[in-house]
Amino acid sequence: MVNAVNLVFEESIGGVAAGLFFSNFGLETGDLGLQSLNPLFQFGHGNRVEILADNHVGWLLWFVIEVHGSGSLLASYFAIAEAGSATHCETKRDASMKAIEIREPGGPEVLQIGELPMPEPAAGQLLVKVHAAGVNRPDILQRKGGYPPPPGAPRTPGLEIAGEVMSLGEGALRYRIGDKVCALVPGGGYAEYAVAAEDNALPVPQGFSMIEAAAIPETHFTVWTNVFDRGRLQPGETILIHGGSSGIGTTAIQLAKAFGSTVVVTAGSDEKCAECLTLGADVAINYKSRDFVEELKVRAISPDVILDMVGGDYVARNLRCIAMHGRIVNIAFQKGSKVEVDLLPIMVKRASLTGSLLRPRSVAEKAEIARSLKARVWPLFAAGKCKPVIFKTFPLADAAGAHRLMESSQHVGKIILTV
């Protein structure tokens, strides 16, 4: 077995590099056999880096190269399993990362890139090297000081990420180091590294880029829990989606159509309406030129479910057009949450008005949504029936530009930061 380990190691990095590696640590290649007998081993060089591995069922080998004189560290690794893979790994180093900071509430200009300590995964968490992060309306609210992170969450904005698993917290068994995942996080996404609960992470769908994968978590978790769980949308029913050209809207269009519903949307321009129709919407109404309530009445359409992120006067207007036994689900209030409204239509139509927030929910609640997505939506990705709509990407350092675009409402679909 030792010879096999040596062979794999040398083939992976080259014979010369392998020799340099072992000589640098004063080891012979045969020493791997001795090291592997102990479940806890370490390779160290000075005080710069310490790599620890707790390997219960297999073999784990870390290959570390220090770039002398530059102050930087390059680390790569691979696992050699005899009866499985490592179940717990840690990297311990004095390391920092680039991340976006909100030093005071304000406009997009307050988003500044800075250096923060690299997070460490707690029990049941993954440390993810972030390749891409989604930009969402709650990030803007947080930047303005109106949506603080939940207790214990990072102050760095960012609710969805895609990247590579770098290390595992105690008891994290679902993924391996090197796996590519997308994840819903309570904060910290606008950074080079982020921690995510392993139960709130999902594998990057086959054939998806990291940019596409980063566009999945926040929108798909939101749409699933509000349209299909709370809204109970059924095949053959009609849904009205306000903000159809947004990231949430483009996701809701595709999922509702994939599960056999009729889709009506509102959007703010004829061009956006056309994009929504291309995605599968059956009816698209430009709310700037037409009253959606009157338009639905002319078309004899009474939505069974309404997904509303507008609020304000839309609350009363939704009640006017909702079907008997209809369900209205509010997920945001861009026009305000304080309204004066006649609630009699709820009684007359035996309708329901509900809503929810996603970010403050527990890991367990979000994990239940993740399981539903894996079972019901991941097959749609594999079949090519649904795919995130990417409007534009920005480098992490230009998070301010991404926020300006989102606040302009000129986009269709998702805005993504690349890291």
pLDDT at 262: 98
If one compares 224 and 6, the residue with the highest pLDDT of the two is 224
**What does pTM read for this prediction?**
0.80
* Nearest in space to 314 (alpha carbons), one of 295, 337, 298, 297: 337
- Computed over every residue of the chain, the mean pLDDT equals 84
Is the per-residue pLDDT at 21 higher than 50?
Answer: no
Structural contact between residues 94 and 49, judged by C-beta atoms closer than 8 angstroms: no
Of the listed ranges 3-12, 231-240, 292-301, 357-366, the least confidently predicted one is 3-12
Structural contact between residues 161 and 132, judged by C-beta atoms closer than 8 angstroms: yes
pLDDT at 374: 98
pLDDT at 92: 47
Structural contact between residues 226 and 331, judged by C-beta atoms closer than 8 angstroms: yes
Is the per-residue pLDDT at 39 higher than 90?
Answer: no
Is the per-residue pLDDT at 411 higher than 80?
Answer: yes
Q: How confident is the model over 346-375, as a mean pLDDT?
A: 97
pLDDT at 186: 97
Give, to the nearest 10 degrees, the angle between helix 270-279 and helix 247-258: 30
Is the per-residue pLDDT at 50 higher than 80?
Answer: no
Burial class of residue 284, CB neighbours in 10 A (0-12, 13-18, 19+): buried
| Structure token digits, residue 155 | 């102050």
Is the per-residue pLDDT at 157 higher than 80?
Answer: yes
User: Strand (E) positions, 68-157?
Assistant: 72-80, 88-92, 96-102, 111-117, 125-135
Q: How confident is the model over 350-367, as a mean pLDDT?
A: 96
Q: How confident is the model over 185-209, as a mean pLDDT?
A: 98
pLDDT at 25: 39
pLDDT at 341: 92
Is the per-residue pLDDT at 190 higher than 90?
Answer: yes
CA distance 109 to 103: 10
pLDDT at 297: 97
CA distance 119 to 278: 42
pLDDT at 79: 39
Tens digits of per-residue pLDDT, 243-298? 999 999 999 999 999 999 999 999 999 999 999 999 999 999 999 999 999 999 99
Tens digits of per-residue pLDDT, 213-250? 999 999 999 999 999 999 999 999 999 999 999 999 99
CA distance 315 to 29: 71
Is the per-residue pLDDT at 376 higher than 90?
Answer: yes
Is the per-residue pLDDT at 63 higher than 90?
Answer: no
Is the per-residue pLDDT at 53 higher than 60?
Answer: no
pLDDT at 155: 95
Is the per-residue pLDDT at 182 higher than 60?
Answer: yes
Tens digits of per-residue pLDDT, 84-107? 344 444 444 569 999 999 999 999
Is the per-residue pLDDT at 19 higher than 80?
Answer: no
Domains of the chain by range and CATH? 2-92 (no CATH), 96-216+360-418 (3.90.180.10), 220-355 (3.40.50.720)
Percentage above 70 pLDDT, the chain: 78
pLDDT at 94: 62
